[in-house]
C-alpha cells in the first residue's frame, strides 16, 4: 500500500506487513498504509493476517513524532486509537502474527485483533507507556480493559509490566505461541479456519460481544482530544 506497509492477496486471506525500520514504528505513514490495506481486504472480503518483520512486530508509535510536541503526539495517538477502533469492529477476522517484540502501540494492535499468534523466543510484549513517562491515554485504557483481566490490566497499564511470549498468553496479549519456523504455516491454518466462518454472522456477533467496549473506546477517543498527550522527561 506504500513503502511502509505491503499487501499480499491469497485465495482465502491477505497478508499485511509493517516494514518501518529497526523498531517497526507506527507512524502516520504506517497507519495510512494499514487503513488502505484494510480497505482493500474489506473489498476482497478476506481474512486478514497482519504481521511485522522478523524479530519485531512493532515497538510502538514513532518517538520522533511523539516527542515533537503535545499536539503532534495527540494527532498520532488519535489516528492510532481510531485504527484500533476500526480493527475491533472490522467485518473480517483479523489475525496478528506477532513476529517478535510488541511494545506499546504494537501491543495495543494485538489487543485490537481477533486472534494473536506469537513466536517463541526471548521477546518482550507489553505496554511501557508509564515506564517512558507517558500517562496512559483514555483510549489505551479502554482497549486494555476490553481484552485483559483486571489483575493483568493493573499490572500492564499501571505498572508497565513487560512479558515474554508465554507470560503474554496468560496476560491476554497472545492466544498461542509457536516456533518461528511454524509461524506462517500456523497463521495460514488459522486463516483457513476463519475463512469457513459465516462472515455476516461473525461480524454481527463481534459487534454484539464488543458493543459496550466499542462505545467506551469511542468516548475515550473524544476525551483524549481534550487532554494533553505527551511524554514527560
Is the pLDDT reported for residue 233 higher than 70?
Answer: no
Question: Is 165 within a domain?
Answer: yes
Question: Is 96 within a domain?
Answer: yes
Q: Number of folded domains in the chain? A: 1
pLDDT value of residue 36 = 97
The residue-averaged pLDDT of 133-154 equals 95
96 near 51, Cβ under 8 Å? yes
Question: Is 112 within a domain?
Answer: yes
E strand segments, 52-147: 55-58, 94-98, 100-103, 115-119, 125-126
Share of the chain above pLDDT 90, in %: 91
pLDDT value of residue 186 = 97
CATH number of the domain within which 214 lies = 3.90.226.10
Question: Is 229 within a domain?
Answer: no
Q: Is 228 helix (H, G, I), strand (E, B) or coil?
A: coil
Question: Is 233 within a domain?
Answer: no
Is the pLDDT reported for residue 18 higher than 70?
Answer: yes
pLDDT value of residue 2 = 77
Residue 86's pLDDT band (boundaries 50, 70, 90)?
very high
48 near 199, Cβ under 8 Å? no
In 3D space, the residue among 162, 166, 164, 169 whose CA is nearest the CA of residue 148 turns out to be: 169
Question: Is 230 within a domain?
Answer: no
pLDDT value of residue 228 = 85
The residue-averaged pLDDT of 123-144 equals 96
Residue-number span of the structural domain to which 111 is assigned? 5-224
Is the pLDDT reported for residue 217 higher than 80?
Answer: yes
Mean of all residue pLDDT scores within the chain: 95
Question: Is 45 within a domain?
Answer: yes
Question: Is 10 within a domain?
Answer: yes
Q: Is 51 helix (H, G, I), strand (E, B) or coil?
A: strand
Is the pLDDT reported for residue 1 higher than 70?
Answer: no
Is the pLDDT reported for residue 98 higher than 80?
Answer: yes
How confident is the model over 21-73, as pLDDT tens digits?
999 999 999 999 999 999 999 999 999 999 999 999 999 999 899 988 888 98
Is the pLDDT reported for residue 5 higher than 70?
Answer: yes
How confident is the model over 164-200, as pLDDT tens digits?
999 999 999 999 999 999 999 999 999 999 999 999 9
The Cα 106–Cα 124 span in angstroms is 11
Amino acid at each position: 500500500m506504500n513503502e511502509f506497509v505491503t499487501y499480499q492477496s491469497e485465495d482465502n486471506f491477505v497478508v499485511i506487513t509493517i516494514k518501518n525500520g529497526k523498531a517497526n514504528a507506527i507512524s502516520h505513514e504506517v497507519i495510512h498504509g494499514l487503513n488502505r490495506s484494510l480497505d482493500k481486504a474489506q473489498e476482497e472480503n478476506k481474512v486478514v493476517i497482519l504481521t511485522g518483520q522478523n524479530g519485531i512486530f512493532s515497538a510502538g508509535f514513532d518517538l520522533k513524532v511523539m516527542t515533537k510536541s503535545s499536539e503532534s503526539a495527540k494527532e498520532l495517538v488519535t489516528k492510532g486509537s481510531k485504527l484500533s477502533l476500526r480493527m475491533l469492529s472490522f467485518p473480517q477476522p483479523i489475525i496478528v502474527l506477532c513476529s517478535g517484540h510488541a511494545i506499546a502501540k504494537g501491543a495495543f494492535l494485538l489487543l485490537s485483533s481477533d486472534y494473536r499468534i506469537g513466536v517463541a523466543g526471548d521477546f518482550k510484549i507489553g505496554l511501557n507507556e508509564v515506564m517512558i513517562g507517558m500517562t496512559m491515554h483514555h483510549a489505551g485504557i479502554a482497549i486494555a480493559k476490553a481484552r485483559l483481566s483486571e489483575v493483568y490490566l493493573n499490572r500492564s497499564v499501571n505498572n508497565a509490566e513487560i512479558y515474554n511470549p508465554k507470560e503474554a498468553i496468560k496476560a491476554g496479549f497472545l492466544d498461542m505461541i509457536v516456533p518461528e519456523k511454524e509461524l506462517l504455516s500456523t497463521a495460514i491454518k488459522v486463516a483457513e479456519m476463519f475463512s469457513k466462518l459465516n462472515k455476516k454472522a461473525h461480524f454481527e456477533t463481534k459487534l454484539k460481544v464488543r458493543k459496550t467496549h466499542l462505545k467506551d473506546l469511542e468516548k475515550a477517543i473524544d476525551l483524549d482530544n481534550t487532554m494533553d498527550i505527551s511524554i514527560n522527561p
